[in-house]
Amino acid sequence: MIRDETVKLDLKPAGGPSERPISIAIVAMGGQGGGVLTDWIVALAEDQGWIAQSTSVPGVAQRTGATIYYIEMMPAGLGGRRPILAQMPTPGDVDVVIASEYMEAGRSILRGIVTPDRTVLIASSHRTLAVTEKMAPGEGIADNGAVADAVHIAARRQIVFDMNAVAIDHGSVISAALFGALAASATLPFAREAFQGIIRQGGKGIQASLATFDAAFDRAMHGAPPSEAPPAAAAAKLPERLADRRADALLQTLRATLPQEAHDMAFLGLKKVVDFQDAAYGEEYLSRLADLHARDAAAGGTDHGFAFTVEAAKHLANAMVYDDLIRVARSKTRTARRDRIRTELGVRAEQIVRTTEYMHPRMEEFVSAMPAPLARWFLRHRRFYDWANRRIDKGRRVSTYSLRWFLALSLLGAMRPTRRWSLRHQTETRHREDWLSAASGALQTNYALAVAILKFRRLIKGYSDTHVRSLSKFNKVMKTTQTIADRDDAAMWAGLLLSAAVKDASHDSLDGAIRTIETIR
């Protein structure tokens, strides 16, 4: 047993921590309805004869920033004495925290207002991404797992589910769902009917609010209805045979030439490249992949679960499916697209939907789509090039489903067979082969590095200038990796370079990583 060395004074208690009010903090983003919820809770308490007080600091945060509303409530004392209520939450002394967004729930834990001895955390699990998460030129989304782990140790009890979805399903806003979850939490000594009564006193959308309240209440009490359970992630089994003769031939080649591990990915890749061009392009994909697989096997790929082949199946498909005018035209004219847009917008049959595309093609795009000799001629004759560019290089508002534009786009899409002779195709093929030979070159000496190099393909994206910038990033990463290719930990560094490049639009953190690598070289 540990010795207790606390100084014990021989004194009578000056008084215990006396009764304190019930405290509720609402953490939200400006404009998310935190004010409405606050008003409801105050009205509820007052309706039940309690004394309640709310405060907030709207200020600039009302423009989408993180903000907090705070409520305290307590019955009047003997002889109707009014309690003195605090104006802001004290860390470690909050009974209920209501978070209207998942990262805001995380922020409330960082503020210290969610503590294991006291706090019931009611949070919606949906995410509204912060600007910094969206800005990254790749995946930059914050880690939900960090919040989940922290909630686990910080909250006395948690009620967490997607309350935003519940609200949307019932045609209302999240405040009604949060109010329902609060009622279900039984943290306030008021009956469900009292909560509903407050909503009824409101002005607009009472029915939708009540439906949302009820749905959230039930969900908080009984958990998710069975239908909402996530579907078992049954891996899409590769089909045995396909009805389409050409597709089936490709499928059988795939089965015959590639290891089991790569089947699923290769099938996805195959569909993508065939959709981009034609069956012959699919054959090309499979044969290039089979060749890479042979090298993989020679380098002991069996021990690695043929990771190289799997990565190649993914990134080779992406590399072969480059973004050009023809692809854009085809995707804009697909049958499925218009249906998708109608569904997304919830359009009824009698309504008409029209779309306008914001396109800005330049001479560069047209030239690169031309047969290589003609394209080179244009590039050599700047005067013609500039003359044409002056007519082409401007923003165009394309009304997709007008006769004129739909025909034009279809015509452009129909130019698909000419793609293989284009300058762009030559450029892309050359670039792709350089990358693949760098990757397979590393296979013999450093398997992990070879896989890492394949993954660099992820950096190439965008159109026009963005595409050019992404290429330069790719080149930087590639060049730096080659300088350390002989190190055993080269793959680790390559991974670091890749994630620096994915997360940062300015080259700052990438350049930082490169400088670090230069020092270890």
Partner 1 sequence: MAERSFAREVEHLRLGAGDIFRGEGILAITKALLQAGVSYVGGYQGSPISHLMDVLADANDILDELGVNFQSSASEATAAAMLSASVMYPLRGAVAWKSTVGTNVASDALANLASGGVTGGAMVIVGEDYGEGSSIMQERTHAFAMKSQMWLLDPRPDHACIVDLIEKGFELSEASNTPVMLQVRVRSCHMTGSFVARDNVRPAFTIADALNNPKRNLDRIVLPPAAYEHEQEKIRKRLPAAIDFIRSHRLNEFFGERSGRTGIIVQGGMYNSLVRALQFLGLSDAYGDVRLPVYVMNVGYPTIPDEVEDFCRGLDAVLVVEEGQPDYIEQSITTVLARAAVAAQVRGKAYLPMGGDYTAAVLTKGIEAFLEDFDPARLGNRPPKPDVAPLMASPAIARLKEAVPARPPGLCTGCPERPIFAAMKLVEQELGAHHVSADIGCHLFSILPPFNIGATTMGFGLGAASASAFNVKAEKRAIAVMGDGGFWHNGLTSGIGNAVFNKHDGVFLIVDNFYSSATGGQDILSSRALNKRRKTNNSIVDAVKGIGAKWVRQVDRTYDVTRMRAVLREALTTKEEGPKIIVASSECMLNRQRREKPKVAQAIKAGARTVTARFGVDEEVCTGDHACIRLSGCPSLSVKQLDDPLRDDPVASIDNSCVACGNCGEVADAAVLCPSFYQADVIHNPTRWDRLKERLAAPVIAFLQRRQDRRAICFEA
Per CB under 8 A, the list member of 3, 222, 241, 521 interacting with partner 1 is 241
Q: Which is nearer to partner 1, 102 or 493 (CB)?
A: 102
Which residue has tokens 């021990």? 303
Burial classification of residue 421, based on how many CB atoms lie within 10 Å of its CB (0-12 exposed, 13-18 middle, 19 or more buried): middle
- Per DSSP, the residues of 477-499 read HHHHHHHTTTSTTHHHHHHHHHH
- Check binding of 252 to partner 1 (CB under 8 A): no
Interface with partner 1 in residues 330-389 (CB under 8 A):
330-335, 337, 341, 344-345, 347, 350-360, 362
Least CB distance to partner 1 at residue 518 (A): 27
Indicate the residue type of 336.
Answer: A
Residue from the set 22, 47, 55, 507 that interacts with partner 1 by CB under 8 A: 55
20 near partner 1, rule: CB under 8 A:
yes
Tell which positions 119-178 bind partner 1, by CB under 8 A: 128-139, 141-143, 146-147, 149-150, 152-154
Strands 396-399 and 51-56: unpaired
> Helices 279-298 and 263-276 sit at what angle, rounded to 10 degrees?
150
Site for partner 1 in 431-460 (CB under 8 A): 458
Site string (107-126) toward partner 1, x via CB under 8 A: x-xx-x--xx----------
Q: Which stretch binds partner 1 (CB under 8 A): 57-65, 172-180, 443-451, 478-486?
A: 57-65
CA nearest 217: which of 261, 176, 250?
A: 176
Q: Is 14 among the residues that bind partner 1 (CB under 8 A)?
A: yes
- Residue 202 interacting with partner 1 (CB under 8 A): no
Sign of the Cα pseudo-torsion (449, 453, 455, 458, in order): positive
Longest Cα pair distance anywhere in the chain, in angstroms?
100
Among 77, 189, 225, 417, binds partner 1 (CB under 8 A): 77
Q: Which stretch binds partner 1 (CB under 8 A): 58-66, 178-186, 208-216, 485-493?
A: 58-66
Minimum distance from CB of 294 to partner 1 (Å)? 23
Site for partner 1 in 253-272 (CB under 8 A): 264-265, 267-272
As measured in angstroms, the least distance from the Cβ of 223 to partner 1 is 24
Q: Are 302 and 260 in contact (CB under 8 A)?
A: no
Alpha-carbon torsion angle 469, 471, 476, 477, nearest 10: 120
Candidates 209-217, 234-242, 379-387, 487-495; binding stretch for partner 1 (CB under 8 A): 234-242
Does 2 bind partner 1 (CB under 8 A)? Our answer is no
49 in Cβ contact with 123 (< 8 Å): no
Quick one: which of 13, 49, 230, 231 contacts partner 1 (CB under 8 A)? Answer: 13
Q: How far apart are CA 326 and CA 415, in angstroms?
A: 7
Residues 486-515 that bind partner 1 (CB under 8 A): 502, 505
Listed residue (481, 477, 464, 478) closest to 509, CA to CA: 477
> Which of 26, 37, 103, 490 touches partner 1 by CB under 8 A?
103
Distance CA 359, CA 355 (A): 12
Binding partner 1 by CB under 8 A: which of 34, 40, 50, 53?
A: 53
In sequence order, the β-bridge partners of residue 161 are 124
Cβ distance to partner 1 smaller for residue 40 or 217: 40
Q: Calculate the CA dihedral of residues 310, 314, 315, 316 and round it to 10 degrees.
A: 90
> Cβ closer to partner 1: 55 or 426?
55
Determine, following the binding rule CB under 8 A, whether residue 305 of this chain makes contact with partner 1: no
Alpha helix stretches (DSSP H) within 60-205: 102-110, 131-135, 144-154, 163-169, 174-185, 192-200
- Euclidean distance between CA atoms 370 and 377, whole angstroms: 10
